[in-house]
Protein backbone atom coordinates (compact mmCIF):
# COMPACT_ATOMS: atom_id res chain seq x y z
CA UNK A 1 0.00 0.00 0.00
CA UNK A 2 1.51 3.31 -1.11
CA UNK A 3 1.31 6.63 0.72
CA UNK A 4 1.91 10.30 -0.03
CA UNK A 5 4.04 12.44 2.25
CA UNK A 6 3.17 16.02 1.34
CA UNK A 7 5.18 18.97 2.62
CA UNK A 8 4.29 22.69 2.71
CA UNK A 9 5.04 24.87 -0.31
CA UNK A 10 5.53 28.61 -0.73
CA UNK A 11 4.07 29.29 -4.16
CA UNK A 12 2.44 27.64 -7.18
CA UNK A 13 3.06 28.64 -10.75
CA UNK A 14 3.34 27.29 -14.27
CA UNK A 15 1.47 26.33 -17.42
CA UNK A 16 0.50 22.67 -17.59
CA UNK A 17 -1.70 20.29 -19.57
CA UNK A 18 -4.02 17.98 -17.62
CA UNK A 19 -4.52 14.42 -19.01
CA UNK A 20 -7.52 13.52 -21.15
CA UNK A 21 -11.08 13.40 -19.86
CA UNK A 22 -11.87 10.04 -18.25
CA UNK A 23 -15.60 10.09 -19.05
CA UNK A 24 -14.93 10.78 -22.72
CA UNK A 25 -12.13 8.19 -22.87
CA UNK A 26 -14.52 5.47 -21.68
CA UNK A 27 -17.17 6.41 -24.21
CA UNK A 28 -14.71 6.69 -27.11
CA UNK A 29 -13.66 3.07 -26.62
CA UNK A 30 -17.22 1.80 -26.25
CA UNK A 31 -18.72 3.60 -29.23
CA UNK A 32 -15.66 3.17 -31.42
CA UNK A 33 -15.80 -0.59 -30.80
CA UNK A 34 -19.40 -0.94 -32.04
CA UNK A 35 -19.01 1.52 -34.92
CA UNK A 36 -18.37 0.59 -38.54
CA UNK A 37 -14.84 1.53 -39.59
CA UNK A 38 -11.68 2.77 -37.89
CA UNK A 39 -11.88 5.32 -35.08
CA UNK A 40 -8.71 7.18 -34.13
CA UNK A 41 -8.54 8.68 -30.65
CA UNK A 42 -5.96 11.18 -29.40
CA UNK A 43 -5.64 12.37 -25.81
CA UNK A 44 -6.89 9.06 -24.38
CA UNK A 45 -6.48 8.92 -20.60
CA UNK A 46 -3.87 6.32 -19.69
CA UNK A 47 -5.43 5.69 -16.28
CA UNK A 48 -6.38 2.29 -14.93
CA UNK A 49 -10.13 2.92 -15.22
CA UNK A 50 -10.14 3.79 -18.92
CA UNK A 51 -7.54 1.10 -19.66
CA UNK A 52 -9.92 -1.42 -18.04
CA UNK A 53 -12.58 -0.41 -20.56
CA UNK A 54 -10.10 -0.72 -23.43
CA UNK A 55 -8.97 -4.19 -22.33
CA UNK A 56 -12.54 -5.40 -21.92
CA UNK A 57 -13.36 -4.64 -25.54
CA UNK A 58 -10.16 -6.33 -26.67
CA UNK A 59 -11.40 -9.31 -24.66
CA UNK A 60 -14.59 -9.20 -26.74
CA UNK A 61 -12.70 -9.42 -30.04
CA UNK A 62 -12.16 -5.76 -30.93
CA UNK A 63 -8.77 -4.96 -32.48
CA UNK A 64 -7.55 -1.93 -30.50
CA UNK A 65 -4.03 -0.58 -30.82
CA UNK A 66 -2.62 1.91 -28.33
CA UNK A 67 0.55 3.97 -28.51
CA UNK A 68 0.54 6.13 -25.39
CA UNK A 69 -2.50 8.38 -25.51
CA UNK A 70 -3.18 7.60 -29.19
CA UNK A 71 -5.63 4.76 -29.76
CA UNK A 72 -6.84 3.13 -32.98
CA UNK A 73 -10.09 1.16 -32.76
CA UNK A 74 -11.09 -1.18 -35.57
CA UNK A 75 -14.83 -1.20 -34.99
CA UNK A 76 -16.78 -4.43 -35.35
CA UNK A 77 -20.24 -2.90 -35.82
CA UNK A 78 -23.32 -3.08 -33.64
CA UNK A 79 -23.44 -6.89 -33.64
CA UNK A 80 -19.78 -7.80 -33.97
CA UNK A 81 -18.73 -8.20 -30.33
CA UNK A 82 -17.78 -11.75 -29.33
CA UNK A 83 -18.24 -13.65 -26.08
CA UNK A 84 -15.38 -12.69 -23.74
CA UNK A 85 -14.66 -16.27 -22.60
CA UNK A 86 -14.10 -15.24 -18.96
CA UNK A 87 -15.45 -12.60 -16.57
CA UNK A 88 -14.62 -9.03 -17.54
CA UNK A 89 -12.63 -7.39 -14.74
CA UNK A 90 -13.27 -3.64 -14.61
CA UNK A 91 -11.06 -2.94 -11.60
CA UNK A 92 -12.25 0.18 -9.80
CA UNK A 93 -14.33 1.66 -12.62
CA UNK A 94 -18.00 2.15 -11.81
CA UNK A 95 -18.50 4.06 -15.06
CA UNK A 96 -17.26 1.09 -17.07
CA UNK A 97 -19.52 -1.35 -15.27
CA UNK A 98 -22.71 0.71 -15.46
CA UNK A 99 -22.33 1.71 -19.10
CA UNK A 100 -21.19 -1.72 -20.27
CA UNK A 101 -24.09 -3.39 -18.49
CA UNK A 102 -26.42 -1.52 -20.83
CA UNK A 103 -24.43 -2.45 -23.91
CA UNK A 104 -23.93 -6.10 -22.97
CA UNK A 105 -27.61 -6.59 -22.09
CA UNK A 106 -28.29 -6.42 -25.83
CA UNK A 107 -25.65 -8.88 -27.03
CA UNK A 108 -26.14 -12.45 -28.22
CA UNK A 109 -23.76 -13.92 -25.62
CA UNK A 110 -23.66 -14.27 -21.84
CA UNK A 111 -21.24 -12.11 -19.89
CA UNK A 112 -20.10 -11.37 -16.36
CA UNK A 113 -18.80 -8.05 -15.05
CA UNK A 114 -16.67 -7.93 -11.92
CA UNK A 115 -14.30 -5.51 -10.20
CA UNK A 116 -12.10 -4.86 -7.20
CA UNK A 117 -13.17 -4.80 -3.56
CA UNK A 118 -14.34 -1.19 -3.75
CA UNK A 119 -16.37 -1.62 -6.93
CA UNK A 120 -17.93 -4.80 -5.53
CA UNK A 121 -19.56 -2.70 -2.79
CA UNK A 122 -21.16 -0.15 -5.11
CA UNK A 123 -24.94 -0.29 -5.77
CA UNK A 124 -26.05 -1.48 -9.20
CA UNK A 125 -29.80 -1.71 -8.57
CA UNK A 126 -30.19 1.71 -10.20
CA UNK A 127 -29.26 0.17 -13.57
CA UNK A 128 -30.53 -3.36 -12.96
CA UNK A 129 -34.13 -2.24 -12.45
CA UNK A 130 -34.57 -0.20 -15.66
CA UNK A 131 -32.61 -2.71 -17.74
CA UNK A 132 -35.02 -5.43 -16.59
CA UNK A 133 -37.89 -3.18 -17.62
CA UNK A 134 -36.34 -3.19 -21.09
CA UNK A 135 -36.28 -6.99 -21.09
CA UNK A 136 -32.70 -7.57 -20.04
CA UNK A 137 -31.80 -10.55 -17.90
CA UNK A 138 -29.26 -9.25 -15.40
CA UNK A 139 -28.42 -10.40 -11.88
CA UNK A 140 -26.20 -9.10 -9.09
CA UNK A 141 -25.23 -10.24 -5.62
CA UNK A 142 -27.64 -8.22 -3.48
CA UNK A 143 -27.76 -5.76 -6.40
CA UNK A 144 -23.98 -5.39 -6.29
CA UNK A 145 -21.19 -6.77 -8.51
CA UNK A 146 -20.39 -9.17 -9.93
CA UNK A 147 -23.16 -8.79 -12.51
CA UNK A 148 -24.20 -11.70 -14.71
CA UNK A 149 -25.93 -10.83 -17.97
CA UNK A 150 -27.74 -13.33 -20.19
CA UNK A 151 -27.56 -12.94 -23.96
CA UNK A 152 -30.23 -13.24 -26.65
CA UNK A 153 -32.74 -11.09 -24.77
CA UNK A 154 -34.77 -8.87 -27.12
CA UNK A 155 -34.94 -5.38 -25.66
CA UNK A 156 -37.95 -3.11 -25.75
CA UNK A 157 -37.84 0.67 -25.49
CA UNK A 158 -39.00 2.40 -22.34
CA UNK A 159 -39.62 5.90 -21.07
CA UNK A 160 -37.66 6.19 -17.85
CA UNK A 161 -37.53 9.06 -15.39
CA UNK A 162 -34.19 9.11 -13.60
CA UNK A 163 -34.76 8.74 -9.84
CA UNK A 164 -31.39 10.40 -9.14
CA UNK A 165 -29.23 12.74 -11.19
CA UNK A 166 -26.88 10.26 -12.85
CA UNK A 167 -25.18 10.40 -16.23
CA UNK A 168 -24.15 6.78 -15.72
CA UNK A 169 -27.74 5.52 -15.54
CA UNK A 170 -28.74 7.72 -18.48
CA UNK A 171 -25.82 6.50 -20.59
CA UNK A 172 -26.42 2.86 -19.66
CA UNK A 173 -30.00 3.07 -20.92
CA UNK A 174 -29.08 5.00 -24.05
CA UNK A 175 -26.55 2.29 -24.97
CA UNK A 176 -29.13 -0.45 -24.45
CA UNK A 177 -31.65 1.69 -26.33
CA UNK A 178 -29.45 1.47 -29.43
CA UNK A 179 -30.62 -2.14 -29.67
CA UNK A 180 -34.28 -1.76 -28.69
CA UNK A 181 -37.07 -1.71 -31.26
CA UNK A 182 -38.53 1.78 -31.09
CA UNK A 183 -37.88 4.97 -29.17
CA UNK A 184 -36.13 4.99 -25.80
CA UNK A 185 -36.74 8.13 -23.76
CA UNK A 186 -34.80 9.16 -20.66
CA UNK A 187 -36.32 11.94 -18.56
CA UNK A 188 -33.98 13.85 -16.25
CA UNK A 189 -35.27 16.50 -13.89
CA UNK A 190 -31.73 17.74 -13.21
CA UNK A 191 -29.13 18.23 -15.94
CA UNK A 192 -26.26 15.73 -15.89
CA UNK A 193 -23.14 15.45 -18.04
CA UNK A 194 -24.04 14.85 -21.68
CA UNK A 195 -20.90 13.28 -23.17
CA UNK A 196 -22.80 10.20 -24.40
CA UNK A 197 -25.34 12.25 -26.32
CA UNK A 198 -22.65 14.42 -27.88
CA UNK A 199 -20.49 11.48 -28.86
CA UNK A 200 -23.37 9.46 -30.33
CA UNK A 201 -24.05 12.41 -32.63
CA UNK A 202 -20.36 12.48 -33.49
CA UNK A 203 -20.68 8.87 -34.60
CA UNK A 204 -23.62 9.84 -36.80
CA UNK A 205 -26.41 8.57 -34.55
CA UNK A 206 -29.42 10.82 -34.06
CA UNK A 207 -30.18 11.77 -30.46
CA UNK A 208 -32.87 14.31 -29.62
CA UNK A 209 -32.85 16.43 -26.46
CA UNK A 210 -35.84 18.62 -25.57
CA UNK A 211 -37.85 19.42 -22.47
CA UNK A 212 -35.53 17.34 -20.24
CA UNK A 213 -36.11 14.28 -22.45
CA UNK A 214 -33.30 12.48 -24.27
CA UNK A 215 -34.61 10.16 -26.97
CA UNK A 216 -33.19 7.85 -29.61
CA UNK A 217 -34.55 5.15 -31.90
CA UNK A 218 -32.93 1.73 -31.83
CA UNK A 219 -31.73 -0.19 -34.84
CA UNK A 220 -29.30 2.31 -36.37
CA UNK A 221 -25.58 2.13 -36.96
CA UNK A 222 -22.55 4.12 -35.81
CA UNK A 223 -19.98 5.43 -38.28
CA UNK A 224 -16.34 5.64 -37.20
CA UNK A 225 -14.86 9.09 -36.57
CA UNK A 226 -11.74 10.70 -35.15
CA UNK A 227 -11.89 11.93 -31.56
CA UNK A 228 -9.61 14.46 -29.85
CA UNK A 229 -10.16 14.16 -26.09
CA UNK A 230 -9.79 17.41 -24.13
CA UNK A 231 -8.26 17.70 -20.65
CA UNK A 232 -10.40 16.43 -17.78
CA UNK A 233 -11.98 19.20 -15.70
CA UNK A 234 -12.40 16.78 -12.78
CA UNK A 235 -8.62 16.35 -12.68
CA UNK A 236 -8.06 20.07 -13.29
CA UNK A 237 -10.19 20.76 -10.20
CA UNK A 238 -7.39 19.71 -7.84
CA UNK A 239 -5.06 22.35 -9.23
CA UNK A 240 -7.82 24.96 -9.44
CA UNK A 241 -8.38 24.62 -5.69
CA UNK A 242 -4.65 24.38 -4.94
CA UNK A 243 -3.97 27.69 -6.71
CA UNK A 244 -7.00 29.33 -5.09
CA UNK A 245 -5.90 28.52 -1.53
CA UNK A 246 -2.14 29.03 -2.01
CA UNK A 247 -0.48 32.12 -0.57
CA UNK A 248 1.11 32.99 -3.91
CA UNK A 249 -0.16 31.35 -7.08
CA UNK A 250 -0.50 32.02 -10.79
CA UNK A 251 -1.32 28.83 -12.66
CA UNK A 252 -2.66 28.15 -16.15
CA UNK A 253 -4.27 24.87 -17.23
CA UNK A 254 -4.33 24.38 -21.00
CA UNK A 255 -7.29 23.23 -23.14
CA UNK A 256 -9.58 22.01 -20.35
CA UNK A 257 -13.02 20.61 -21.15
CA UNK A 258 -15.62 23.23 -20.14
CA UNK A 259 -18.71 21.27 -21.17
CA UNK A 260 -21.56 23.21 -19.48
CA UNK A 261 -22.70 20.04 -17.70
CA UNK A 262 -19.29 19.83 -15.98
CA UNK A 263 -18.45 23.41 -14.97
CA UNK A 264 -19.98 23.36 -11.49
CA UNK A 265 -16.47 23.40 -10.01
CA UNK A 266 -15.71 26.73 -11.72
CA UNK A 267 -19.04 28.30 -10.80
CA UNK A 268 -18.84 27.23 -7.15
CA UNK A 269 -15.27 28.46 -6.76
CA UNK A 270 -16.20 31.78 -8.34
CA UNK A 271 -19.13 32.13 -5.93
CA UNK A 272 -16.58 31.61 -3.16
CA UNK A 273 -14.50 34.46 -4.57
CA UNK A 274 -11.90 32.53 -6.55
CA UNK A 275 -9.82 34.40 -9.13
CA UNK A 276 -10.44 32.30 -12.25
CA UNK A 277 -10.18 33.49 -15.85
CA UNK A 278 -11.09 31.53 -19.02
CA UNK A 279 -9.45 32.29 -22.35
CA UNK A 280 -8.87 30.79 -25.82
CA UNK A 281 -12.30 29.17 -25.85
CA UNK A 282 -12.87 26.84 -28.79
CA UNK A 283 -14.47 23.53 -29.76
CA UNK A 284 -12.78 20.13 -29.84
CA UNK A 285 -14.64 16.97 -30.92
CA UNK A 286 -18.02 18.49 -30.06
CA UNK A 287 -16.82 19.68 -26.63
CA UNK A 288 -16.01 23.22 -25.51
CA UNK A 289 -12.48 23.80 -24.23
CA UNK A 290 -10.62 26.75 -22.70
CA UNK A 291 -7.40 27.68 -20.97
CA UNK A 292 -8.06 28.30 -17.27
CA UNK A 293 -5.92 30.73 -15.27
CA UNK A 294 -6.15 30.62 -11.47
CA UNK A 295 -4.56 33.07 -9.05
CA UNK A 296 -4.57 33.14 -5.25
CA UNK A 297 -7.75 34.48 -3.66
CA UNK A 298 -9.42 35.02 -0.30
CA UNK A 299 -12.27 32.52 -0.37
CA UNK A 300 -15.50 32.90 1.56
CA UNK A 301 -17.95 30.25 2.72
CA UNK A 302 -21.22 29.88 0.80
CA UNK A 303 -24.36 27.80 0.63
CA UNK A 304 -23.77 25.75 -2.52
CA UNK A 305 -26.75 26.14 -4.90
CA UNK A 306 -28.61 22.86 -5.41
CA UNK A 307 -28.66 23.28 -9.18
CA UNK A 308 -24.85 23.18 -9.24
CA UNK A 309 -24.55 19.93 -7.26
CA UNK A 310 -24.86 17.46 -10.19
CA UNK A 311 -22.54 19.67 -12.25
CA UNK A 312 -19.74 19.18 -9.70
CA UNK A 313 -20.53 15.81 -8.14
CA UNK A 314 -17.02 14.36 -8.63
CA UNK A 315 -15.26 17.54 -7.53
CA UNK A 316 -16.76 17.90 -4.05
CA UNK A 317 -13.91 16.23 -2.13
CA UNK A 318 -11.49 18.93 -3.25
CA UNK A 319 -14.17 21.62 -2.90
CA UNK A 320 -14.36 20.58 0.77
CA UNK A 321 -10.68 21.55 1.01
CA UNK A 322 -11.51 24.96 -0.49
CA UNK A 323 -14.35 25.33 2.04
CA UNK A 324 -11.96 24.48 4.88
CA UNK A 325 -9.73 27.39 3.83
CA UNK A 326 -12.60 29.84 3.32
CA UNK A 327 -13.78 32.55 5.70
CA UNK A 328 -17.04 31.41 7.26
CA UNK A 329 -19.32 28.44 6.79
CA UNK A 330 -19.95 26.41 3.65
CA UNK A 331 -23.10 24.29 3.42
CA UNK A 332 -23.72 21.50 0.92
CA UNK A 333 -27.05 19.67 0.67
CA UNK A 334 -28.68 17.53 -2.02
CA UNK A 335 -25.53 15.47 -2.55
CA UNK A 336 -26.48 12.05 -1.19
CA UNK A 337 -24.89 10.53 -4.30
CA UNK A 338 -21.48 11.22 -2.70
CA UNK A 339 -22.14 8.45 -0.20
CA UNK A 340 -22.07 5.72 -2.89
CA UNK A 341 -18.93 6.67 -4.79
CA UNK A 342 -15.61 4.83 -4.41
CA UNK A 343 -16.04 5.62 -0.73
CA UNK A 344 -18.61 7.47 1.36
CA UNK A 345 -17.01 10.74 0.32
CA UNK A 346 -18.98 12.85 2.77
CA UNK A 347 -17.95 10.84 5.85
CA UNK A 348 -14.41 10.08 4.70
CA UNK A 349 -13.67 13.74 3.94
CA UNK A 350 -15.21 14.80 7.27
CA UNK A 351 -13.00 12.31 9.11
CA UNK A 352 -9.88 13.58 7.33
CA UNK A 353 -10.77 17.22 7.92
CA UNK A 354 -11.27 16.49 11.62
CA UNK A 355 -7.73 15.10 11.72
CA UNK A 356 -6.58 18.47 10.34
CA UNK A 357 -8.53 20.41 12.94
CA UNK A 358 -11.47 21.52 10.78
CA UNK A 359 -14.96 21.47 12.29
CA UNK A 360 -17.70 19.82 10.22
CA UNK A 361 -21.24 18.59 10.63
CA UNK A 362 -22.13 15.56 8.53
CA UNK A 363 -25.65 15.65 7.10
CA UNK A 364 -27.57 12.83 5.47
CA UNK A 365 -27.21 14.45 2.04
CA UNK A 366 -24.31 16.81 2.55
CA UNK A 367 -21.99 18.54 5.00
CA UNK A 368 -21.50 21.78 6.90
CA UNK A 369 -17.87 22.98 6.99
CA UNK A 370 -16.56 25.76 9.20
CA UNK A 371 -13.63 27.39 7.46
CA UNK A 372 -10.48 27.91 9.47
CA UNK A 373 -6.86 26.81 9.57
CA UNK A 374 -5.29 23.39 9.42
CA UNK A 375 -3.87 23.11 12.93
CA UNK A 376 -2.82 19.54 13.74
CA UNK A 377 0.71 18.63 12.63
CA UNK A 378 2.18 15.12 12.35
CA UNK A 379 -1.08 13.84 10.92
CA UNK A 380 -1.89 10.72 8.94
CA UNK A 381 -5.06 10.53 6.88
CA UNK A 382 -6.74 7.43 5.50
CA UNK A 383 -7.98 7.77 1.91
CA UNK A 384 -10.03 4.56 2.01
CA UNK A 385 -8.37 3.80 -1.34
CA UNK A 386 -10.40 6.54 -3.03
CA UNK A 387 -8.35 8.42 -5.64
CA UNK A 388 -10.19 11.72 -5.21
CA UNK A 389 -9.79 11.63 -1.43
CA UNK A 390 -6.04 11.05 -1.81
CA UNK A 391 -5.56 13.94 -4.23
CA UNK A 392 -7.80 16.28 -2.25
CA UNK A 393 -5.75 15.96 0.92
CA UNK A 394 -2.56 16.33 -1.10
CA UNK A 395 -3.98 19.70 -2.21
CA UNK A 396 -4.68 20.61 1.45
CA UNK A 397 -0.92 20.69 2.04
CA UNK A 398 -0.78 23.96 0.09
CA UNK A 399 -2.44 25.68 3.05
CA UNK A 400 -0.54 23.80 5.78
CA UNK A 401 2.67 24.59 7.61
CA UNK A 402 3.28 20.93 8.42
CA UNK A 403 3.61 17.61 6.59
CA UNK A 404 0.61 15.41 5.83
CA UNK A 405 0.80 11.66 5.29
CA UNK A 406 -2.00 10.19 3.17
CA UNK A 407 -2.40 6.41 3.29
CA UNK A 408 -3.70 4.18 0.49
CA UNK A 409 -3.04 6.28 -2.60
CA UNK A 410 -2.58 3.50 -5.15
CA UNK A 411 -5.91 4.24 -6.84
CA UNK A 412 -4.79 7.73 -7.91
CA UNK A 413 -3.59 5.94 -11.04
CA UNK A 414 -7.19 5.08 -11.93
CA UNK A 415 -7.96 8.64 -13.01
CA UNK A 416 -4.79 10.77 -12.91
CA UNK A 417 -1.63 8.70 -13.51
CA UNK A 418 0.76 11.68 -13.61
CA UNK A 419 -0.79 13.66 -10.75
CA UNK A 420 2.35 13.61 -8.62
CA UNK A 421 4.58 14.67 -11.52
CA UNK A 422 2.39 17.65 -12.43
CA UNK A 423 1.81 18.62 -8.80
CA UNK A 424 5.55 18.72 -8.10
CA UNK A 425 6.18 20.63 -11.33
CA UNK A 426 4.00 23.56 -10.22
CA UNK A 427 5.41 23.67 -6.69
CA UNK A 428 3.49 21.17 -4.54
CA UNK A 429 5.87 18.86 -2.62
CA UNK A 430 4.72 15.23 -2.82
CA UNK A 431 6.89 12.24 -2.00
CA UNK A 432 5.56 8.76 -2.79
CA UNK A 433 6.23 6.16 -0.13
CA UNK A 434 6.02 2.49 -1.08
Cβ density class 326-336: b for 16+ within 10 Å, e for less: beebbebebbe
The candidate with the shortest Cα–Cα distance to 149, out of 164, 168, 161, 132, is 132
Instruction: Give the closest residue to 51 by CA, choosing from 38, 32, 68, 63.
Output: 68
Q: Which of 71, 95, 81 is nearest to 35 (CA)?
A: 81
Question: From the candidates 232, 291, 314, 386, which is the catalytic residue?
Answer: 314
d(CA 49, CA 37): 25
Strand pairing class (429-433; 3-7):
antiparallel
Q: How far is CA 70 from CA 65, 80, 223, 232, 299, in A?
A: 8, 23, 19, 16, 39
> Do residues 97 and 147 lie in contact, with contact meaning Cβ atoms separated by under 8 Å?
yes
Do 201 and 286 meet the contact criterion of CB atoms below 8 Å apart? yes
Nearest to 399 by CA among 7, 3, 5: 7
Task: Tell me the Cα Rg of the chain.
Answer: 21
Which H or E element spans position 250? strand 249-257
- Tell me whether residue 314 is one of the annotated catalytic residues: yes
Residues with a catalytic annotation lie at 314
Amino acid sequence: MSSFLVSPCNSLSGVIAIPGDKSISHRAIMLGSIANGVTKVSGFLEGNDSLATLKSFQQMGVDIERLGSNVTINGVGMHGLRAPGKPIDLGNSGTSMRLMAGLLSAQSFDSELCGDESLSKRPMDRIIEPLRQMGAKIEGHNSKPPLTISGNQPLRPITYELPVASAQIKSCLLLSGLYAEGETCIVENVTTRDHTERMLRGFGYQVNCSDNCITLDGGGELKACDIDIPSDISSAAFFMVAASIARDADLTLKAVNINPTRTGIIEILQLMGANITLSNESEMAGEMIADIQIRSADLKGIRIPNELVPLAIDEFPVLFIAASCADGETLLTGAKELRVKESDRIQVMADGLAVLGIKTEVLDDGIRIQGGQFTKPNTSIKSHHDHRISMSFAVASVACNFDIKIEGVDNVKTSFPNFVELANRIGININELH
